[in-house]
């Protein structure tokens, strides 16, 4: 009997039910879309911010003896530290080795790096010509714009490099000219293996840098974990970049939470008005039910069950619409698809159900206050 009454109530008031379903559907769609973006936004935003450079630096652990200078670290140690960083969060990394070399036109700062990793952590570099694409390529180099202008170097020039370490010189071809507006404009970049040979420092690096999808406390935690497992290195986030990540993400998260809260309030008010009108129309039916023995508890259960069914149906439809909306927002803002997160389903349905049941409080109180004798007399 209860199921038949609920089914009849849901089908007999089609227009009002449609308004309630529409209100909850819109609320569920917005909440679902914002929640999906919220769960993905840290990663998406961090990936976008990585265009501004690496956010973690690894250097040799400083000696407690101030008279002992710490110079360089084994590549194996650097690689062990980089391996501690989660692979799914590491967009790129490379060791660096620095030294001075002599060219026929003058001297320059030589930078040795793994070129593929260097390209991954430096997407903001403006490169005329092309990158050195292979980590084993010792025949090509890249040179900073100011250095190229001061020494008269152009793309395709062959340049001999000689260090003061007693090693054999090497000839490289300028494949790319780098412009960053920073110190890189005065440096020449070669693969790490060539720099190690020219500077007579086999298997060594001065430091390493990594670009991670992490911000704020996450970056600090990752740095602490690396130092715990590889104590020979000091690992720290580059504060300016890391803090900017956190500040931007906190503001976006707060804005999304505010929008979701406003949508929930509007949805609750709309559903409340609709349910109040539905209960008012059904006052004679409720009075008759009470007259033949229905208790207040059964009336309350019936109204709440109807509300829950409406909320779950609308919430399910809103989930589908919200996922589509999230894809549109993801493409518009990040040019990337938003992944499906299973936690969005119970969270959205729970919020919709909670908002609908909250909206049903006043209508339920009105149904409980119906006096059968007055209704049957037509008062």
User: pLDDT class for 66, splitting at 50, 70, 90?
Assistant: very low
Q: Which residues pair with 112 in a beta bridge?
A: 97, 190
Reduce the DSSP state of residue 340 to 3 states and report it: coil
| Cα–Cα distance list, 180 to 50, 124, 144, 154 (Å) | 15, 8, 8, 17
- In the predicted model, is pLDDT for residue 367 greater than 80? no
For 80-113, the pLDDT digits (tens) are 998 888 888 888 899 999 999 999 888 999 999 9
For 285-327, the pLDDT digits (tens) are 777 777 777 777 887 887 888 888 888 888 999 999 999 988 8
Count of all residues that appear for the chain in the document: 379
- What φ, ψ does residue 204 adopt, rounded to 5°? -120, 160
For 160-181, the pLDDT digits (tens) are 999 987 888 999 999 999 999 8
d(CA 318, CA 365) in angstroms, rounded, equals 28
DSSP per position, 10-64: HHHTHHHHHHHHHHHHHHHHHHHHHHHHHHHHHHHHHHHHGGG---EEEEEPPPS
Across the chain, mean pLDDT equals 82
Pairing of strands 170-179, 140-144: parallel
- In the predicted model, is pLDDT for residue 157 greater than 80? yes
| Cα–Cα distance list, 184 to 127, 145, 146 (Å) | 12, 8, 9
Nearest-Å Rg of the Cα atoms of the chain is 33
User: pLDDT class for 216, splitting at 50, 70, 90?
Assistant: low
For 2-35, the pLDDT digits (tens) are 455 455 555 555 567 777 888 888 888 988 888 8
Residues 6 or more apart whose CB falls under 8 angstroms from that of 41 comprise 249, 252, 253, 256
Nearest in space to 159 (alpha carbons), one of 104, 206, 81, 199: 104
d(CA 306, CA 12) in angstroms, rounded, equals 12
316-350: buried (b, 16+ CB within 10 Å) or exposed (e) per residue?
A: ebbbebbbebbbeebeeebeeebeeeeebbeebbe
End-to-end Cα spacing for the chain: 27
123-141: buried (b, 16+ CB within 10 Å) or exposed (e) per residue?
A: eebebeeebbeebebbbbb
Question: How confident is the model over 364-373, as a mean pLDDT?
Answer: 74
- In the predicted model, is pLDDT for residue 190 greater than 60? yes
DSSP-H helix ranges across the chain: 2-12, 14-49, 75-84, 115-121, 145-151, 192-198, 217-229, 239-281, 283-291, 296-334, 344-359, 361-368, 372-377
- In the predicted model, is pLDDT for residue 129 greater than 80? yes
Question: How confident is the model over 279-286, as a mean pLDDT?
Answer: 75
- What φ, ψ does residue 202 adopt, rounded to 5°? -65, 135
For 238-254, the pLDDT digits (tens) are 765 545 555 566 666 67
């Amino acid at each position: 009997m209860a199921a038949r009454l609920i089914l009849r109530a849901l089908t007999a008031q089609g227009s009002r039910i449609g308004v309630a379903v529409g209100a909850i559907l819109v609320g569920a769609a917005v909440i679902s879309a914002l929640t999906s973006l919220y769960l993905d936004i840290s990663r998406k935003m961090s990936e976008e911010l990585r265009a501004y450079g690496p956010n973690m630096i690894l250097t040799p652990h400083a000696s407690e003896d101030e008279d002992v200078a710490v110079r360089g670290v084994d590549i194996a140690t650097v690689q062990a530290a980089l391996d501690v960083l989660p692979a799914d969060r590491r967009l790129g990394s490379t060791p660096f080795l620095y030294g001075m070399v002599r060219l026929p036109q003058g001297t320059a700062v030589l930078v040795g790096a793994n070129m593929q990793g260097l390209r991954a952590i430096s997407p903001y570099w403006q490169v005329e010509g092309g990158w050195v694409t292979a980590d084993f390529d010792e025949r090509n180099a890249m040179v900073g714009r100011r250095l190229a202008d001061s020494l008269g170097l152009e793309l395709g020039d062959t340049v001999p490099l000689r260090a003061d370490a007693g090693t054999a010189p090497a000839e490289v071809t300028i494949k790319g000219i780098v412009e960053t507006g920073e110190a890189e404009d005065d440096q020449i970049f070669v693969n790490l293996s060539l720099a190690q040979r020219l500077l007579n420092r086999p298997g060594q690096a001065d430091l390493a840098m990594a670009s991670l999808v992490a911000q704020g406390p996450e970056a600090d935690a990752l740095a602490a974990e690396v130092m715990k497992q590889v104590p020979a290195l000091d690992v720290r986030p580059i504060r300016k970049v890391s803090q900017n990540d956190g500040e931007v993400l906190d503001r976006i998260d707060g804005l999304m939470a505010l929008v979701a809260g406003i949508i929930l309030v509007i949805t609750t008010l709309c559903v409340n008005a609709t349910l109040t009108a539905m209960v008012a129309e059904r006052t004679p039916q409720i009075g008759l039910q009470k007259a033949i023995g229905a208790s207040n508890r059964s009336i309350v259960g019936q109204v709440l069950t109807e509300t829950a069914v409406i909320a779950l149906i609308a919430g399910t439809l809103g989930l589908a619409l919200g996922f589509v909306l999230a894809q549109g927002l993801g493409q518009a803002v990040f040019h990337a698809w938003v992944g499906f997160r299973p936690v969005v389903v119970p969270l959205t349905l729970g919020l919709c159900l909670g908002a609908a049941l909250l909206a049903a409080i006043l209508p339920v109180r009105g149904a409980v206050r119906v006096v059968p004798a007055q209704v049957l007399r037509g008062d």
